[in-house]
């Protein structure tokens, strides 16, 4: 029997890594993309002395430990050729794609600055990395999915797409540039449902809430949104995304925003840890 397949972008660490592993645990073979191929080779933007943990090699090992086949692929959101090549290579390696998870985001300057500090070039890079690259990927994926009978598109968004922060950056708030890109990207899944539901395409927007990741911890920003969001875990978000991709019960959320932390908690998708151990 042919195993279902998935493509998860930005899977070297954080949410993407957790999602890829959860899909492997749910029976998928998974193509994974990122700029960081080897754990330990990525440095924090703006401070080369800090190593950001994670790489596609460690994600691939975890996928294979879960019983899946892993296909690690280099992809840079600001380089359209690598985006198109990653889709072509994933299709070549796996034969088809049942799931695509648009998780990768632009991590460069401008994402978390206030409006008067936001330059035009930074705005362009933010839209290139958080909207245009994802649209380019979907243009490559959708015809293949439709030709194979359909599939599931998962777009990782953010509450910044629709919520107004209580405070400024540094006190729980977020950058206008990042919020604008997420607001634009949130519109993709609902329109895909309108245009391609009859072609077998299921489309969802996932709001993960605040989830401290390796990059945020390395940058000392893990607590920056306290007071606005309840912190979740990558594992819970990964489990929620796997549920969306595999359970027909998720169809009530088609074209809508999925509150991933709430879903994971209500459905018991991540079991509680043994007494005395922290939830991860």
CATH number of the CATH domain containing 158:
3.40.50.720
Instruction: Kindly indicate the confidence band of residue 223, based on its pLDDT and cuts at 50, 70 and 90.
Output: low
What is the residue whose two structure tokens read 């191929």? Answer: 37
Assign 195 to helix, strand or coil. Answer: helix
Residue 269: pLDDT over 80: yes
Instruction: Kindly indicate the confidence band of residue 39, based on its pLDDT and cuts at 50, 70 and 90.
Output: confident
For residue 53, the model assigns a pLDDT of: 77
Would the CA dihedral through 225, 230, 234, 240 be positive or negative? negative
Residue 226: pLDDT over 60: no
Angle at which helices 133-147 and 188-196 pack, to 10 degrees?
20
Give a yes or no: residue 272 inside a domain. Answer: no
**Who's near 266: CB < 8 A, 6+ residues apart?**
none
Give a yes or no: residue 273 inside a domain. Answer: no
Domains: count for the chain: 1
| Residue among 7, 202, 200 at smallest CA distance from 92 | 7
Give a yes or no: residue 121 inside a domain. Answer: yes
For residue 277, the model assigns a pLDDT of: 42
Over the chain, what is the mean pLDDT? 90
Q: How does pLDDT run across 115-127, given as a tens digit for each residue?
A: 999 999 999 999 9
Give a yes or no: residue 73 inside a domain. Answer: yes
Give a yes or no: residue 210 inside a domain. Answer: yes
Cα dist from 217 to 174, 263, 280, whole Å: 17, 25, 14
Q: Which domain holds residue 34?
A: 5-266
How many residues are there in the chain? 280
275 versus 76: which is more confidently predicted?
A: 76
Residue 128 class from Cβ within 10 Å (0-12 exposed, 13-18 middle, 19+ buried)? middle
For residue 154, the model assigns a pLDDT of: 98
Give a yes or no: residue 207 inside a domain. Answer: yes
Instruction: Kindly indicate the confidence band of residue 46, based on its pLDDT and cuts at 50, 70 and 90.
Output: low
Q: What is the mean pLDDT of residues 140-163?
A: 97
Q: How does pLDDT run across 96-117, given as a tens digit for each residue?
A: 999 999 999 998 999 999 999 9
Residue 214: pLDDT over 60: no
Give a yes or no: residue 275 inside a domain. Answer: no
For residue 275, the model assigns a pLDDT of: 47
Give a yes or no: residue 280 inside a domain. Answer: no
Q: How far apart are the two ends of the chain, measured CA to CA in Å?
A: 33
| Residue among 69, 85, 89 at smallest CA distance from 77 | 85
215 versus 149: which is more confidently predicted?
A: 149
Instruction: Kindly indicate the confidence band of residue 230, based on its pLDDT and cuts at 50, 70 and 90.
Output: low
For residue 124, the model assigns a pLDDT of: 98
Instruction: Kindly indicate the confidence band of residue 28, based on its pLDDT and cuts at 50, 70 and 90.
Output: very high
């Amino acid at each position: 029997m042919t195993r279902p397949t998935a493509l998860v972008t930005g899977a070297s660490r954080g949410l993407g890594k957790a999602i890829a592993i959860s899909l492997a645990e749910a029976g998928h073979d998974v193509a994974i993309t990122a700029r960081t191929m080897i754990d330990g080779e990525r440095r924090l933007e703006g401070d080369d002395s800090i190593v950001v943990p994670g790489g596609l090699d460690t994600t691939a090992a975890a996928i294979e430990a879960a019983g899946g086949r892993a296909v690690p692929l280099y992809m840079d959101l600001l380089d359209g050729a690598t985006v198109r090549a990653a889709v072509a290579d994933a299709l070549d390696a796996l034969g088809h794609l049942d799931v695509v998870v648009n998780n990768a985001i632009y991590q460069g300057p401008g994402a978390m600055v206030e409006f008067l500090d936001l330059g035009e070039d930074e705005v362009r890079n933010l839209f290139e990395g958080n909207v245009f690259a994802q649209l380019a990927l979907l243009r490559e994926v959708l015809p293949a999915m439709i030709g194979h009978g359909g599939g599931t598109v998962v777009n990782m968004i953010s509450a910044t797409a629709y919520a107004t922060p209580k405070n400024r950056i540094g006190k729980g708030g977020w950058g206008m540039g990042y919020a604008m890109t997420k607001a634009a990207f949130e519109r993709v899944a609902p329109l895909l449902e309108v245009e391609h539901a009859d072609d077998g395409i299921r489309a969802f927007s996932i709001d993960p809430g605040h989830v401290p990741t390796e990059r945020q911890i390395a940058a000392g920003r893990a607590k920056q949104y306290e007071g606005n969001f309840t912190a979740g875990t990558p594992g819970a978000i990964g489990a929620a995304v796997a549920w969306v991709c595999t359970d027909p019960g998720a169809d009530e959320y088609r074209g809508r925003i999925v509150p991933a932390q709430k879903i994971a908690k209500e459905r018991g998708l991540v079991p509680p840890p043994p007494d005395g151990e922290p939830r991860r």
